[in-house]
Structure 1
């Protein structure tokens, strides 16, 4: 059993270690022993919190998806325009290409949201691993469904705000949010599959063009 007072940190360390392990070895190659090694703890600590591999995968997936929402919420300000809010959202759910492999995965809020980070390459690997596993796993499907429904609701609220403030012209905010998120998911799969973007541009411009058409003037 972990020392008293160390529970939140140990739990966070295990989740971070799980994501690192999955990004390097895949879900099938991830074992509780490897996770314990990456977390610098005993296998007993891992099973104390998460019981087994299946539970650990679900909790790691939840933390992976929650990471994006937390980063977005921390950066969106009430003084922003609707377009700026969407820019912040896209920056995190479809981040620009970057070479940040030297940085370490950290999805823990314990040290502050500003220190949470997932390198670009690891995001792609984790996206592929989790979503391919979710195709046949009902529990993971439920995690995806809950996360995407929250994303849709959040994006639709930004579009509603854009309409109300006169910054946008959106006939149906829910449909517009659905379309934007569908683009993000599709482009994410294109990235993972190494399908090169048109004209050597970052494929984020497709989403940006879509949003641009909703802005008045």
Structure 2
């Protein structure tokens, strides 16, 4: 049993280890034993907090999805323009290729949001694993749906702000946000499948170009 007071840290270690194992072995290949080894604890510690693999997978997916919103919200300030806010959002939803290469996964806020990270390659592998499983797992699908509804509302508020301040032309902010989120999902799948644009460049520029279409000429 974990020492008194170590609960939050142990939970964070287990969730981070679960994400690392899913990235490396896939959901089917992830086991509680592998998670315990990755986390540097006993299997008993893992099952003390999460009774089985399904519960642990769901918790890891929640943390994976919450990571993006936490990073974006932490970097958006009241003095920003709508365009700058969208740049922040895209920087986390579609990070530059190779970002944080070799770093370990950390989706916990215990050490501050600035220390949170999911390396670029891990993001792609986790994206495919979780999204493909969500298609057949109602619990994961509910996590996905709830997260996306929240994210869509946040992105829509940025478009609404840009339209209100005259920086953007986005009278239908929800549709604009929906299109951007859909593009991010598609581009993420293409990244994992190594399907590059004809130019051979990092496909994140396509998302940036979509956002720029709503900007009014200065």
SS in 1 for 2:168: coil
SS in 1 for 2:95: coil
Counterpart for residue 131 of structure 2 = 131
Structure 2 CA distance for aligned equivalents of residues 119 and 22 of structure 1: 14
Report the TM-score, using the length of structure 1 for normalisation.
0.98
Deviates more, 1:75-84 or 1:205-214: 205-214
Structure 2 CA distance for aligned equivalents of residues 186 and 42 of structure 1: 39
Aligned length: 217
Counterpart for residue 3 of structure 2 = 3
Contact 2:160 2:171 in 1 (8 A): no
Structure 1 CA distance for aligned equivalents of residues 111 and 141 of structure 2: 30
Structure 1 CA distance for aligned equivalents of residues 13 and 148 of structure 2: 26
Residue 99 of structure 1: how far off its partner (Å): 5.4
Structure 1 CA distance for aligned equivalents of residues 136 and 44 of structure 2: 29
Counterpart for residue 160 of structure 2 = 160
Counterpart for residue 178 of structure 2 = 178
Contact 2:100 2:117 in 1 (8 A): no
Deviation string, structure 1 residues 72-119 (Cα, Å, up to 9, x no partner): 011011111000000000000111111533211111100111001111
SS in 1 for 2:208: helix
Structure 2 CA distance for aligned equivalents of residues 92 and 44 of structure 1: 35
Structure 2 CA distance for aligned equivalents of residues 198 and 7 of structure 1: 49
Structure 2 CA distance for aligned equivalents of residues 159 and 43 of structure 1: 47
Deviation string, structure 1 residues 128-167 (Cα, Å, up to 9, x no partner): 1111111110100000001111110000000010011111
Structure 2 CA distance for aligned equivalents of residues 144 and 110 of structure 1: 24
Deviates more, 1:205-214 or 1:10-19: 205-214
Report the TM-score, using the length of structure 2 for normalisation.
0.97
Counterpart for residue 202 of structure 2 = 202
SS in 2 for 1:70: helix
Deviates more, 1:99-108 or 1:79-88: 99-108
Structure 1 CA distance for aligned equivalents of residues 93 and 211 of structure 2: 15
